[in-house]
Structure formats: structure tokens, C-alpha cells
Amino acid sequence: MNAHNPGSPLTPSATDSLAISLRAFVTDPQAKPRGPNNWTPPRPSQWTLVFDTETMTDPSQRLRFGCYQLRKGEALNETGLFFDPDALSEDEQGTLVAFAATHDFKCMTHTAFNEDVFFRRAYELRATIIGFNLPFDISRLALGWVPARGSMRGGFSFKMSEKWWRPRVQVKHLSGRAAFIQFTSPTKRNDNPRDRREGRRIVRRGSFIDVKTIAAALLSRSFSLDGLAQHLKTKTQKAKTEEHGGVLSDRYLSYAVTDVQVTWECHLDLSERFGKHDVGLTRMSQILSEASLGKAYLRQMGVRPWRELQPDFPNAVLGAIMGSYFGGRAEVHLRREVRQVLYCDFLSMYPTVCTLMGLWQFVIAKEIRWRDATEEATSFLNEVTLDDLRKPTTWPHLTTLVQIAPEDDIVPIRAHYG
Amino acid sequence: VDEKQLKREARLQRMHERLGVDHPRCIECGLEDVRCLEAHHIAGNKFDDATMIFCRNHHRILSDDQKDHPPLIGSEPTLHERAGHFLKGLADLFTLLVAKLHEYGDELIAFAKREAASSTVGGDR
């Protein structure tokens, strides 16, 4: 709908036609019933592989070389360098090999790294694989990719080895900060013969920790590696360099080696912080955001998902609940006028509303019952005043679903603006 | 890690993975070497998936005891049949444990006797 403002021909109309979105609740009648999901990934071994890659600065961002540390517990087992022979000149390869020899590092091509370190050490020793912005580094090592399938649909499935029986690595981005990363189920070649004979199938999904993700979840901020190291005051700080994309030098190689050490130290510090949360039923590799941490607390407290406790709750009522839910809310009362504005936002709105409205009872409820409360709601609306609505004692009484017929009212909607 | 250590470590990791715990030990004798440990199906693997960890010797004893349990009635066990076999499996386990408790009890009493004898030899001063 468009309205014309005759007084100001250059001013666009103040009313727009917008496609709005409504929340709903739909079920798949063919879906198999799902039992409670209490699955916790198996604990990884003491081994860890920390690695980082350096790439070209052109749009291809092709791998040039990388550095890794293999550790058992906190003890450094080996350090090494790997490189793409097609991306480095012979002179640069010579520099890299000489640097590795000087520092007693292992040195190999990136395909050898994938086979001997990524699979034969990290995968087979059930190591935790650590990196900063890990999806990017994994994609640099990949020999190919296809779209991922199943639960990882929408993500990438990276081929990391020419050996057909090796599992692929699937990466599915959830946000700019977090991604699911896992090994695919191995082919039979990788199964233990005894497990196969006894009908036992152990799928090793791996334990991947992106330090960037865990830092954002635990510290509620996005960090660069440099910023994180400064924030955590790690012993080793990230080195400075202007040599990205330039001819490979010892100084640049030292910079890359330091990056891996800084990533490890940040991981150690964040592990300690995660340990203080005391949520032993959840692995650190499962933490992808602040919300994951919240879920970990609920799990530790023994709070079971309500749908698991009351699976026969009517879908129609659930649909009404979903339809009334507006998570993010933005209001602009004066539009298309040049005015001085004040940006106003709230922090931690969900937990605040949950506490002030007494919604915790719904989180820990074994069962939710419902009834028609039209008379109560009508009577409440007839009596309530604006002053009452400013009193915290009124807010717990607002946990009622009502259907309204708008009459020149402003009601929240979900739509794409701008 | 050299090639030999790597293969050995990979084998050990697979064993830990199969048992599903970080620090496995035999419930009966306390043996902690993962190479000698196995998962025992308490009710028998036809009846229930629940397992407990035992050393190979004790696993063999318990599995042999299970051979005296009644065979599967139909093609798939019913809930009652599963529960019955589970209880019989637990009874076998408790039988082993009772013997072990007697053994530990006797050892403690023998130890106490030796303590008493040594204090008598020394006399009160």
C-alpha cells in the first residue's frame, strides 16, 4: 500500500508494502520418532595437533606452506613445516627446507602432511585438532571438495587424501564465528575386523577446536589471533610481519611458527577457563557459541528438554506459541526524517526477560497444562494501567497467549527492511 | 614418535575407543592394562547392549557362566526375557564379587593377625 504525501513531492511515501514472515510449527508426518539425544562425543586422547597455514595473497588464497605442532598432553612431541611444491619456487623450497633443518623441524609436502600427520597421527591417535579459524586452514589442505550430505547438508565435504578409505572432513558454517567440523564415517577398510565381526561400528568423528570459536563463546567477543593473545596475555605474543605473499624468508617462517605456538597457548588458557565452568557432560569441542554454553549448563543441571518430557503436547498450541514469538525487536518511531538519533540497545535481553517474567518455571517444568483464560485476560486488560505495566510484580502475569484483532495498532512483525 | 611407537599408540587408542572410557580397569581384579581388557555384555549380547569392563580372564569366566543361562525363546527377546537375562548376568557378577569379598576379607583378617602378633613380640614399653 502506498500513500502519497502532496505537501512534499520529494519525500517518499511513509507507508510501504512489505512481505512479512510468520513463525509456524510444522511436523514431518514421515519422520521417525527421535529418542532423547544424550549423545556426547567420545573424549579425545591426550594428543593434539595444532596447525596453521599461510596462503597466497591473491583471490585464490592458495596454500603456500604451513606449520604444525604435535603434542601429547602439554609436551611437544614434534614440530614441522609443510608446503605446496607448486606454490613455492625452488629457492623458496630451499629456504624452507634449510629453516626446518636448522630448527630440527620435520619438513614435508602438504599431501605428505595430510597422510602422515593429519591422518596417521591426528586421526588414528584420536587427537584434538586445533587451529585459529580452522575451517579456512582445513580447506587450504583439501585436495578437493563436494557438497556435504545428510546432517551436514549445506556445508562442504573436503577430500584430504588420495586413499579412498580415508574419511573426508565435513565443515558446515553456522555463523561467521562457528562451524560444525567432523570426519565422515570411514569406509569398511578403516573398520577394525573384530568390530565388524561383532557388528560393532565405531564412528570416529574427531575432535576439532577452532580457537576463534571457543574464544568468542567464552569471552563474548570476536578476536583476531593477535587480539586474543593480547587479551589473554599469553607468554608468546603474535609476531608482526609485512611479508605476506612476499618471497619466503626465515623471518616469515619464524612468524608462522610463532602463530602456531600462540594458537596453542590461547587454547591452553581457554581450556582452563572452560574447565572453571564445570560442565563435565559437555566437551569443549561442542561449544560453538554462548548459547552452547547455556545448553551445557542446563544439561549439567539435569534440565531435560521440555519436548522430550511432554512429546504429546498439541502441535496446534505449539504453533500458536511459535507464532507469538518475536526474538529480535527493532523500533524506529520516526522514519525518513533527518534527525539526531540516539542508538539504544540492550545486553542479555533473553536472560533478563526470562528472570523478570518468571519464565524459569517453564524451563524446568515436567509438564505444561493449558486452559482457556479469555475472561481472565479480558478482566486483566480492562483493569491494568500504564503504571501497573511498569511494576515488576505485573510482568509474571503476562505469560498468556492472546489473539488480538489490531485496530490502528502497531504490532511487531518480522520482515526484511532496507 | 617413530613408526613402531605410532602403530602401538594407534592400537592403544583403538582399544580405549572400543571400551569407551579413559581409564578402564577390570571391575573384578582392578587390572588397568587396556590390552587385557574387554567389554562384557551383562545379559549376553543377544539380550542387551549394556556392558561392563573385565580383564580377559574374568570375561571368559562370566561368558562361560552365561552358557548355563536359558537359550533365546523366539527370534527376538521380549522385555521380560531381556530383564530375566539381565538379572541372571548380574547374579553371575555378584557371585564373582562375593568370592572376591571373602578373599579380601580373609586377607585383611590375616593382616590384622600379623599386626597383633608383631605388637605382642615387641611388648609394651
- Give the model confidence (pLDDT) of A40-50 as tens digits: 677 899 999 99
A316 SS3 class = helix
Residues in chain B within 8 Å Cβ distance of A106: none
pLDDT at A406: 86
Residues of chain A below pLDDT 50: 1-10
Query: Which string of DSSP letters, residue by residue, matches B66-115?
Result: HTTSPPPSSSS--HHHHHHHHHHHHHHHHHHHHHHHHHHHHHHHHHHHHH
Q: Does A46 touch chain B (CB under 8 A)?
A: no
**Cβ <8 Å between B13 and A121:** no
What ipTM does the predicted assembly reach? 0.73
Nearest CA in chain A to B45: A198
pLDDT at A194: 65
Measure CA A402 to chain center. Answer: 35
pLDDT at A2: 36
pLDDT at A23: 85
pLDDT at A332: 75
**Cβ <8 Å between B10 and A124:** yes
**Cβ <8 Å between A200 and B1:** no
Q: Does B1 touch chain A (CB under 8 A)?
A: yes
Å from B95 to nearest chain A CA?
27
pLDDT at B125: 44
Among B residues 44-103, those touching chain A with beta carbons less than 8 Å apart: 45
**Cβ <8 Å between A126 and B13:** yes
pLDDT at A3: 37
Q: What is the rounded CA–CA span in Å between residue B9 and residue A121?
A: 9
pLDDT at A174: 92
Size of interface A-B (CB pairs under 8 A): 30
**Cβ <8 Å between B17 and A42:** yes
Q: What is the rounded CA–CA span in Å between residue A155 and residue A60?
A: 20
Nearest CA in chain B to A200: B18
Nearest to A45 among B6, B13, B20 (CB): B13
A282 SS3 class = coil
Over range B68-93, report the average pLDDT: 93
Q: What is the 3-state secondary structure (H, E, C) of A223-244?
A: CCHHHHHHHHCCCCCCCCCCCC
pLDDT at A195: 66
**Cβ <8 Å between B17 and A202:** yes
Residues in chain B within 8 Å Cβ distance of A192: 14, 18
B37 - beta bridge partners? Answer: B55
**Cβ <8 Å between A204 and B18:** no
Q: Strand A75-83 and strand A63-72: pairing? A: antiparallel
pLDDT at A219: 95
pLDDT at B96 over 70: yes
pLDDT at A131: 97
Q: Does B16 touch chain A (CB under 8 A)?
A: yes
Q: Strand A20-21 and strand A414-415: pairing? A: antiparallel
Å from B103 to nearest chain A CA?
35
pLDDT at A114: 97
Å from A123 to nearest chain B CA?
9
Q: What is the rounded CA–CA span in Å between residue A281 and residue A277?
A: 11
Over range B87-91, report the average pLDDT: 95
pLDDT at A7: 44
| Cα-based distances in Å from A310 to A189, A304, A323 | 43, 10, 20
**Cβ <8 Å between A126 and B18:** no
Q: Identify which of A381, A386, A384 has the alpha carbon closest to the alpha carbon of residue A402.
A: A381
Residues in chain B within 8 Å Cβ distance of A121: 1, 6
Å from B72 to nearest chain A CA?
18
Mutate: best of A118, A120, A201, A205, partner B, most B CBs <10 A: A120
pLDDT at A412: 81
Q: What is the rounded CA–CA span in Å between residue A162 and residue A146?
A: 15
pLDDT at A256: 94
> If you average pLDDT over every residue of chain B, what do you get?
90
Å from A241 to nearest chain B CA?
33
pLDDT at A4: 40
pLDDT at A388: 95
